[in-house]
A and B are shown apart, each in its own frame.
Chain A
Amino acid sequence: MKSNHAYKYILVAILIIMLPMVLSSPKAMNAKYMQKHKNDTKIVVLNYHKIDEMNISLSVYPKDFDEQMAYLKEEGYTTISPAQMIDNLENGAPLPEKPVIITFDDGYLDNYTNAYPILKKYGFTATIFVITDFISSDPRFMTWDQVRELSEAGFTIGSHTMQHKSLTDIKEKEIRAELIGSNRALEYQLGKKAEFFAYPTGTYNLRIAQIVKECGYKAAFTIKYGNADKASNIYALERVPIFNTEQTFKSFCQRLQYIPLLERLGWIKI
């Protein structure tokens, strides 16, 4: 009698072990999404503005920035370019183990004077979205020579429009003028077209995202808090903003690790 029952227990155990191989998803998804990409990683895109001693939230102290870059180096992060990220998301190209993209918005002068030396020290690359009308005309921002030097050093230079107007506040004709005009300036000054864009003030909608695509950009970044992965809209990529706070380094570490876990559990905004 006992041996009669034993085979049933074994069969049930086999069925329970086989279930994870059969039940893929309650909803039918397209085959491309169901494939596991090699190096299927979530990419952290850090978002900075200024690196100086102004003591405002958008301006991180240089010594804090150095501490953060040292941390990234120690923890084995590798900085990549947006082009590498898009290649991975679209074509499944491999990425290093812990990829991170460091971005700066606006193109402030301190990006060159304070941030660039620190990034060079750690062998990191970064992406800077510049406001093309302010370069070489507003003393708070970099000059074209400086931008060119960064571009030649391997940094990705993207567009942040010509005059930093919120795209949801202006008409379509003006949106296209800002997008195309800034790219023309970048192409003229740097010798190559800009492929990446960041929305000024982060405001966008799906129609604007479509216009960005039509103007020839390969991807666009918002200021939406999150990680870029294959479930993201590549014309509305999420970023992690880094602010100057009471405990800048602690919140930097939290933001680097924190989001992946909460996103995995279905983020609740409470």
Chain B
Amino acid sequence: MDIIAFSIGTLNFYWYGIITSIAILVGMLITGVGLYFRREKFAVMIDLLLFAIPVGIIVSRIFYVFLHWKLYSGNMTEIMAFNCGGFSIYGAFVGFLFVVYFYTKLKKLSFWYWLDILVPAIVFGVAIDQLGHFIFQTIVGIPDNGKTVEYIEYAFRPAGFEQYEYFKPVALYQAIWQFIVFLVVTALSFMQVKKHSILFGNVFLVGMSMVCLGRFLFGFFYLTTQHGMQLHTGQFISLVVLISCLALWTIRTYLPNNSLVKSIFRV
């Protein structure tokens, strides 16, 4: 599968970027529907995107370079070589979160409320990202010879596993899980709007908990060449975020009247 979709002169257009752009456009549509039902302004989403896209790319690159420092410490100019790949989805998410936080603080909007509006599109984006990993063979599962397996081309097999041809389609399974989470989050948003029964922010926390749970559990089927650690980096990050989200959810639901909690997490 080729990395470059097409080129105009010396300018290359990459499949990964095209898929991300399409995911953003679909995300805009999904968020737009949510904004319509909540009778909110479309302009806020445009403002967020204006900052989130460049910030997301930069933070995603910083995270990737940091997480794979061994690749860059010897040759610092490689950090600017965007055309050789290397973007972390965790970094993109953190960058996005920063933008939402600072924007809502600046415009005096409710941070948790807007996270709930944005979460369906975020989860959808995660699902598309996993589908992309499946198609481009960038996430490889454990070698397998069963009925449902993915053929990984020689160049994409992790070091030491070149003799295996078929692997578990872990990324596909994860994409399916994330689509299910998307449906759950959409249903919860619907309930929140129609029945006013869900605290603002809880849809986001439940959604992210499920996404991280999926990433953590499926992570055990990833073929990783990291030595020493029981969990690889992605799993570790997902576990931390999962626990944080669950903790936040518990605190906000069961201790809403605690003055310390109130001062930190403005409900």
Contact = CB atoms under 8 A, between A and B. Distances in A.
Given A11-B50, A21-B11, A231-B154, 12 more contacts: A5-B46, A12-B49, A19-B53, A21-B13, A22-B17, A23-B57, A24-B82, A29-B84, A226-B151, A266-B1, A269-B151, A270-B148
B169 A20 contact: no
B162 interface: yes
A231 B163 CA distance: 14
A206 interface: yes
Contacts of B46: 5, 8-9, 12
A25 B154 contact: no
A269 B149 contact: yes
Nearest to B7: A36
A27 B85 contact: yes
Nearest to B8: A21
B108 to A, nearest CB: 19
A268 B169 contact: yes
B43 interface: yes
Interface residues of B, number: 60
Query: 5 tightest A-B contacts by CB?
Result: A25-B85, A20-B17, A23-B17, A28-B86, A231-B155
A235 to B, nearest CB: 10
A153 interface: no
A206 B162 CA distance: 8
B33 interface: no
B12 A21 contact: yes
Contacts of B135: 264-266
Interface of B: 1-5, 7, 11-14, 16-18, 20-21, 24-25, 43, 46-47, 49-50, 53-54, 57, 64, 68, 71, 81-89, 129, 132-138, 147-151, 153-156, 162-163, 165-166, 169, 172
Q: How large is the interface on A (under 10, 10 to 19, 20 to 34, 35 or more residues)?
A: 35 or more
B150 A266 contact: yes
A16 B162 CA distance: 37
Interface of A: 5, 8-9, 11-12, 15-17, 19-31, 33-34, 36, 40, 205-206, 224, 226, 229-233, 236, 263-270
A229 B154 CA distance: 10
B21 A16 contact: yes
A230 B4 CA distance: 14
A8 B48 CA distance: 10
A39 B71 CA distance: 31
B84 A16 contact: no
9 contacts: A19-B53, A23-B82, A24-B3, A26-B138, A27-B86, A36-B2, A40-B2, A266-B137, A268-B150
A21 B17 contact: yes
Nearest to A226: B151
Contacts of B148: 268-270
Contacts of B154: 231-233, 236
A5 B148 CA distance: 50
B155 A232 contact: yes
Contacts of B162: 206, 233
A8 B51 CA distance: 11
B127 to A, nearest CB: 15
A1 to B, nearest CB: 10
A26 B133 contact: yes
B14 A24 contact: yes
A263 B46 CA distance: 38
A28 B71 contact: yes
A197 to B, nearest CB: 17
A267 B89 contact: no
Nearest to A269: B149
B82 A231 contact: no
